[in-house]
Amino acid sequence: MPFFYAYNLIHRMPNSLAAKPDMNLEPTWVICLCAAWCGVCRDYEQVFAQMAARYPAFRFVWLDVEDQAELVGDIDVETFPTVLLTDAQTTWFFGPVTPQANTLSRLLDSLQNASLQALPQNPAARQLLHALHGAPAHWIRP
């Protein structure tokens, strides 16, 4: 996925027009796709775990794209760290993020405040989400 496309997934919308995930149903998944050899990813892992504790309404997952390639499937990651925000019907965000807590925090706050535009979920994201349901060992629990 080209870098510019990921940023086109985020659109500020009036709250009345934006879809909002129902946090009482299927959780929204916050999936970080990284690699063990990536120094930025190693540094970001602790920040990501802190965000999991700060946002308990979301389900956080840390995946190494090489070590967990069978779970990652056909998702194409061009840059690290890459974050996928998704639920059963919708992809909210997919793209690289800067490795600071405030970047992910702004994305999650925007999602909770219904200011991210919902997009149809692509097949690779749906396949990953299905695989993660059966792989709780990769979930980060606060």
Structure token digits, residue 2: 């080209």
**Residue type at position 92:** W
Query: Which tens digits make up the pLDDT trace of 56-108?
Result: 999 999 999 999 999 999 898 999 999 999 998 889 999 999 999 999 999 99
Query: Which tens digits make up the pLDDT trace of 8-31?
Result: 333 323 332 334 444 446 789 999
Structural domain includes residue 73: yes
Overall domain count for the chain: 1
Contact 26, 125 (CB under 8 A): no
Structural domain includes residue 45: yes
Mean pLDDT (whole number) for 36-62: 96
Structural domain includes residue 22: no
Mean pLDDT (whole number) for 39-59: 96
Contact 34, 44 (CB under 8 A): yes
- Read off the CATH number of the domain in which 44 is found: 3.40.30.10
Q: Would you state the pLDDT for residue 142? A: 66
Query: Which tens digits make up the pLDDT trace of 95-128?
Result: 999 999 999 999 999 999 988 888 777 888 889 9
Residues with Cβ within 8 Å of 15's Cβ and at least 6 positions away in sequence, in order, are 113, 114, 115
Pairing of strands 139-140, 59-64: antiparallel
Enclosing domain of residue 75 = 3-13+29-140
Structural domain includes residue 47: yes
Reduced to 3 states (helix: H, G, I; strand: E, B; else coil), residue 30 is strand
The end-to-end CA distance of the chain, in Å, is 31
**Please, which pLDDT band fits residue 53 given cuts at 50, 70 and 90?**
very high
Structure token digits, residue 30: 């916050």
At residue 5, does pLDDT exceed 60? no
Structural domain includes residue 20: no
Structural domain includes residue 69: yes
Q: Would you state the pLDDT for residue 12? A: 29
Structural domain includes residue 132: yes
Buried b (16+ CB within 10 A) or exposed e, 69-88: eebbeebebeebbbbbbbbe
**Residue type at position 75:** I
Structural domain includes residue 18: no
Place of tokens 């059963």: 88
Q: Would you state the pLDDT for residue 120? A: 76
Q: Would you state the pLDDT for residue 50? A: 96
More confident residue, 76 or 55: 55
